[in-house]
Amino acid sequence: MSTSEFYKWFDKLSPKLQIRKEAFYKIFKYLDSMPDPIIIVETGCLRIKDNYLDGQSTLLFDKYTQLRDKNSKVFTMDIDPKATKVCSENVSKNVLIHTGDSVEHLKKLTKEFILNKINVSLFYLDSFDCNWKDLKQSSEHHLKEFQSIQKILKKNTLLVVDDSPIVGYFQQTGLKNNFNLINPGLVPAPTISGKGGLVHQHAVRAGAKMLFSNYQTGWIGFN
């Protein structure tokens, strides 16, 4: 395992991640504690090269798994063929890319993982774009993704939903995906907004523990 090399790389680019920097760091530190191989499943892939305001999670996950061990992999998917084409041109063969509906593909992967006894280390849900004036469609879609994978969530599986800020932690400025930090001391979060609002409600019912809550929110400890 060569994660020290990964963190040298990550530390150089992490300022570009801005509001996602802290959560990504926590994600990778948590993955450090998990056994090999690391299996990451992501919905919504890299779609614009070098657009770090968009997160570039596929690129980050690709780099981490490459430096982790030879059997670690990333499964990513996007309904937009233009996005998956861009993604395929910017990541290694370590990333398995699917073009199609995320909910249906997650159901298929769930069956395959159960059949082959594959444990997923991280689910990173970030597909259906969030309309901050009307969160219903995006939050409902991410809930469907969660329900598609719920049966294979283990106690140590990390589930993260992007664009899921703490209510009272970020304030929308009116620009898309542009938030100002207004209360950095508010932890833990009482309510989650954005893409993960409904997922949070179901995670609580499932007995999960919120591991962190920044612009992204992560949970572990599913029953």
**Residue 89: what pLDDT?**
97
**Residue 160: what pLDDT?**
98
**Residue 182: what pLDDT?**
40
Measured distance CA(100)–CA(95) in Å, rounded: 16
pLDDT tens digits for the chain (223 residues)? 578 999 999 999 999 999 999 999 999 999 999 999 999 999 999 999 988 888 899 999 999 999 999 999 999 999 999 999 999 999 999 999 999 999 999 999 999 999 999 999 999 999 998 888 888 999 999 999 999 999 999 999 999 999 998 875 555 444 444 444 444 444 444 588 899 999 999 998 888 999 998 889 999 998 7
**Residue 174: what pLDDT?**
45
Residue 159 near residue 216 (C-beta atoms within 8 A): no
**Residue 86: what pLDDT?**
96
Query: How many residues would you count in the chain?
Result: 223
**Residue 168: what pLDDT?**
58
Beta strand 122-125 with 209-213: parallel, antiparallel or unpaired? Answer: unpaired
Question: Structure pTM?
Answer: 0.90
**Residue 172: what pLDDT?**
46
The full set of domains in the chain, from first to last, is 3-220 (3.40.50)
**Residue 135: what pLDDT?**
87
Q: Which residues sit opposite 113 in a β-bridge?
A: none
| Cis amide prior to 188 (ω within 30 degrees) | yes
